[in-house]
């Protein structure tokens, strides 16, 4: 071995997170692309802080990830969260973008894929987000599949979400996860949620307790080592959309975004913004509430894993 190998030298884990991992306490990784690209100001900062508080309520420690001036960080300070929420020009970083951000000294927010890669390198087994990326509609024309899916084949992390973002091709995303060998579970439901709606028409295996989520994870990494898993949590019923409301609003956003010529990694943030505008902010409030609910569930799951001696 020489000094040029993959020993972590560019990643900086905060003292609080590092101590929690060493002590085997519950830790939850939180992504930051939702802060910098997914939600508008001032909701983004409020949500980021509320998600960290939700994790702390369960007794677990939050570890939001991002690149700050080229330093790849796991566990951020409040001023760093503020920068991600309020500064212009924060880049969106998938896993492959981390290296360039690090050597160029830029500041970047991490997607689910990049976040679970960093969580795995840091000894963190649980992460929370709103909706994960997947196969985009019109895949046969442009081939756009989120790296979130493939990263789940090399990062054994539990991803707590409300499903796949409803702008995606849900059946194809499920097929891809099956191909990749990544399990998708429903928390206290057998109906796969569709991000902004509790109903997708697809069923998933149901897990009813935090402990059973932890058990499914530990069994999963025994039989399919290296793979992560997806736990879906239905969105809060008071704000969730019905399937037909959701269909209408997503279809409109897709048409507008396509005729505006939006492509690549701009697609997801652009669609979320359009849906926010056409629902008069309801999708934004819902996105915020479901992110907090997922952070809470992730914290409880992380605590169950820690109790099992696998923090
Ligand atoms: N969940 C949300 N809002 C978001 C995202 C997730 O509620 O903005 C982000 C996540 O960071 C996810 C990314 O990884 O969108 C997916 O982007 P893409 O489809 O370009 O891979
Ligand atoms: Mn994409």
DSSP string, 223-237: HSTT--EEEE-PPPT
Distance 243 CA to ligand 1 centre (A): 21
Residues contacting residue 273 through CB under 8 Å, at least 6 positions apart:
40
Nearest-CA residue for atom 11 of ligand 1: 111
The predicted-structure confidence for 252-292, as pLDDT tens digits, reads as follows: 999 999 999 999 989 999 999 999 999 999 999 999 999 99
115 lines ligand 1 (CB under 6 A): no
Q: Note whether 14 and 74 are within 8 A (CB).
A: yes
Nearest-CA residue for atom 8 of ligand 1: 38
Atom of ligand 1 nearest to the CA of 33: 11
According to DSSP, the residues that pair with 206 across neighbouring strands are 186
Pocket test for ligand 1, best of 44, 93, 129 (most atoms within 8 A of CB): 129
**Cβ atoms within 10 Å of 169's Cβ, excluding its own:** 19
Burial bucket for residue 212 (CB in 10 Å: 0-12, 13-18, 19+): middle
Ligand lying nearest the CA atom of residue 162: 1
Which segments of the chain have a pLDDT < 50? 1
130 lines ligand 1 (CB under 6 A): yes
DSSP element (H, E) containing 66: strand 61-68
Pocket test for ligand 1, best of 29, 30, 31 (most atoms within 8 A of CB): 31
68-88 burial, b if ≥16 CB within 10 A, otherwise e? Answer: beeebbbbbeeebbebbbeee
Pocket test for ligand 1, best of 30, 32, 34 (most atoms within 8 A of CB): 34
Nearest-CA residue for atom 6 of ligand 1: 131
pLDDT, residue 214, reads 98
112 lines ligand 1 (CB under 6 A): yes
Atom of ligand 1 nearest to the CA of 264: 20
pLDDT, residue 253, reads 96
pLDDT, residue 310, reads 76
pLDDT, residue 225, reads 97
pLDDT, residue 308, reads 84
Distance 148 CA to ligand 1 centre (A): 8
Distance CA 51, CA 62 (A): 8
Task: Take residue 4 and report the two structure tokens written for it.
Answer: 């040029």
Residues contacting residue 112 through CB under 8 Å, at least 6 positions apart:
31, 33, 127, 129, 132, 133, 146, 148, 151, 159, 161
133 lines ligand 1 (CB under 6 A): yes
pTM of the model: 0.96
The predicted-structure confidence for 206-238, as pLDDT tens digits, reads as follows: 999 999 999 999 999 999 999 999 999 999 999
Comparing CA positions, the residue from 147, 23, 153 lying closest to residue 93 is: 147
**Cβ atoms within 10 Å of 10's Cβ, excluding its own:** 14
131 lines ligand 1 (CB under 6 A): yes
Active site residues: 31, 165
């Amino acid at each position: 071995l020489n000094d040029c190998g993959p020993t972590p030298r560019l990643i900086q884990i905060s003292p609080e997170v590092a101590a929690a991992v060493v002590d085997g306490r519950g830790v939850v990784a939180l992504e930051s692309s939702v802060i910098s690209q997914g939600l508008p100001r001032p909701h983004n900062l409020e949500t980021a802080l509320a998600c960290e508080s939700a994790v702390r309520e369960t007794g677990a420690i939050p570890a939001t990830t991002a690149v700050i001036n080229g330093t790849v960080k796991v566990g951020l300070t409040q001023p760093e969260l503020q920068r991600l929420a309020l500064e212009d020009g924060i880049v969106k970083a998938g896993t492959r973008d981390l290296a360039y951000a690090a050597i160029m000294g830029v500041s970047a927010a991490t997607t689910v894929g990049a976040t679970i890669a960093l969580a795995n390198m840091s000894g963190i087994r649980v992460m929370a987000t709103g909706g994960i990326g997947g196969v985009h509609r019109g895949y046969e024309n442009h081939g756009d599949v989120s790296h979130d899916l493939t990263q789940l084949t090399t990062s054994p992390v539990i991803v707590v979400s409300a499903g796949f973002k409803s702008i995606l091709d849900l059946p194809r995303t499920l097929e891809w996860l099956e191909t990749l060998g990544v399990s998708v579970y429903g928390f206290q439901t057998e109906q796969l949620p569709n991000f902004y709606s509790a109903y997708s028409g697809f069923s998933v295996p149901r897990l009813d307790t935090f402990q059973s989520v932890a058990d499914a994870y530990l069994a999963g990494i025994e039989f399919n080592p290296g793979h992560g898993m997806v736990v879906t949590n239905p969105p809060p019923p008071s704000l969730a959309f019905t399937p037909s409301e959701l269909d209408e609003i997503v279809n409109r956003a897709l048409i507008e975004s396509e005729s505006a010529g939006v492509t690549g990694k701009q697609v997801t943030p652009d669609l979320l913004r359009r849906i926010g505008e056409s629902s008069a902010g309801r999708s934004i409030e819902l996105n915020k509430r479901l992110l907090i609910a997922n952070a809470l569930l992730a914290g409880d799951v992380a605590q169950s894993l820690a109790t099992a001696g696998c923090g």
